[in-house]
Structure 1
Amino acid sequence: MDDTIEDHITQSLNNLLENDLKKFKTKLCEECEIKFPRRKVLKFDSTGLRDCMISCYGETRAAEKTIQILEAINQKDIAETLKENIQREIYKKINLNLNKMDDTIEDHITQSLNNLLENDLKKFKTKLCEECEIKFPRRKVLKFDSTVLTDCMISCYGETRAAEKTIQILEAINQKDIAETLKENIQREIYKKINLNLNKMDDTIEDHITQSLNNLLENDLKKFKTKLCEECEIKFPRRKVLKFDSTVLTDCMISCYGETRAAEKTIQILEAINQKDIAETLKENIQREAALPGTMRVTVSTSETSLETITGIETGTVSTPGTGIDTGTVFTPETDIETGTVSTPETGIETGTVSMPETGIETGTVSTPETGRH
């Protein structure tokens, strides 16, 4: 179980008869770019030949070249065995990476590209150039190795979008196992970020909305924008909304609805486009913000006193316009906790206290400026 790709190549070459090994060397010199003279290559034994190919191509590419030449000289059984061994080694590496919790999305993309054989990596680059908007010339992209290709995509799309593009192209070139592994890794990284955010107590509702939108893949974010334009009253043109990134989209919704309503709309649309996990996480974040001290805001003027919560709890307004006497009490419907009482006696003196009954914490006092009485 501790064989390496290098060991498997050597074993495959050892399994060739002398004449077949000679055919292999000849084919290698004819069809591949080898930095060793032909006369030297023809004298190599299996180990020397393996080292020669690895020094020219690296382990994975050397394995692919070996498979191609074995098939070309009609050693298909040995080629098939080598292919199976290489795939097993690659997936062992993938499984090892699954257990590494400090990898970034960038690392996972690079690892996925590294797991492609040379011909498949070429297909990937070609598909990327054909179907995606890349700000690098095609001739340059085709020369990129896995690391530079990852950097290229991230510079064009950002980490999450680059991961989505990678998954889409891997599926398109029939590398579904690698695509599925990458998808699992990305989802794990996203939920790691979500869990980290759950522990951050200084985030605002605006932050939580933006984070939820950032956790959407490109296609899902597009669905979100479309649903928002179709079902909600937005004061921005649809064509502009569809171009907004997560931060601007959050600002757009808050400017139209205010923080609490914007959060509610976000949750509704996330559920509608089948992003229930992200919706549930946002809901938990908003509820947690509601439970934090100091989330109630009281605004006071000489003509109007309003109680506003940023938590989605119903709000109430109590005013004394002119000489009229209005009284009011605001309750939270689910808990019946009294969150504010404002009264105006016949004397015209305004008095009021807003408190959290269970804790006894006074969060606001309304007084009459003329008398100074509370």
Structure 2
Amino acid sequence: MPVNRLGQLVHGFCLPFHLVRSLWADRELRRRYLAVSVLQVAAIVGLAVLFTGSGKEVAETVVPEDWKEQQGEEVEGRLAEVEAAVEEAEARMNRARQFQKVAESAAAIAGMAGSDPEKVRAQVEQALKEAQAAEEGRRAAREAAKAEGEKAERQERKRTVYQAVYWAALFSSLQIAQWIVIALSRDFHTVLEREVSLRTGVAPEDEPLTPRVRLNLPWLRRKMKQRWRAFVVFAFGAPVLWVVTLPLPWREELFAALMSLWAGWWFVVFTASKSALAWSEQAAREPWFLRGWPGLAARLPLLGRYGSMWTNHTREVFSPAASVERRPWGLAGLAVVRGLAALPLVKCFLRPFIPVAAAHLLVAGGPPSPSGAASAPPGEGSGPPS
């Protein structure tokens, strides 16, 4: 392990790719790894296409708020057009009355001059009408060009929203398909994890098995339990951060930043928990965010009760949290790779190496404590290392 923090971060980030290189050196393992990954990718893409079709149906059934706003703008635009038409009609009537007065005045002047009043009046009215028609034609052309530009702008905004909805639907379909495919074929990843562990000198955490496509219901129940536990331990910190940021300036931005850091901390913890070694401490101490609660409880009993509830619901993950506190930077680098591995299709290639990389980082940090014994709870790791 590097000594400086940046080196540990880079080491944790690069470690899964070094494991890939180690596996790649073996021709048989390379062939098996590529076969498993490529077949998973093909199945995921096929299911995603099946779920979304061309993607147009999904996008058309969703009505984003932007589209609703555009519809409201179109209704307001039509009302404005009606009002403008009424005003234009009134203006035309007024101009017609003015034209008539001008023509009558011109006819009277022509009669005084000895000319035919009706002829002069007709000529004046005709000239005024032609001038009015020319002006209306120019104004109509300007309004048509303006309306065309506004229509093109609305269409462009609608097309942008449509594309965003389409790609979001496609991304969601890929994620769902990926979860289904990996849930059915996780045995093949387990075999690859064991082989990589043996090749890189870390004790494998799984017994030998013959991989097959199946739905492992006990694993599925454990997975749901893990997701619920992660939500609970994360949710307990949200009220505390909300209260802490309440009197501070830029409260909303600060609260969002602290919640992101809080989520990142737990993401690193559950990255470490992918290895059974992270669960090896039976008497791990409380995480950093719970050590100050006894002092607060002495002053505010209500906070003491909240701290007791928080401690009881977090006790199961004391061991992996302690592992992260001892070696946070290497595990943080590995968590970055795990975040990248969550992307659709990328997970098929990187998932088998995350638990092995976590085991390497935990082993490199030394034994957690003399009393520690490998005892992963149900759903985390595969059991004690041999």
Shared fold (TM-score greater than 0.5)? no
Higher relative CO (CA 8 A, sep ≥ 6), structure 1 or 2?
A: 2
Higher strand residue share: 1
Name the TM tier (shorter chain): under 0.3
**Bigger radius of gyration among the two:** 2
Higher helix residue share: 2
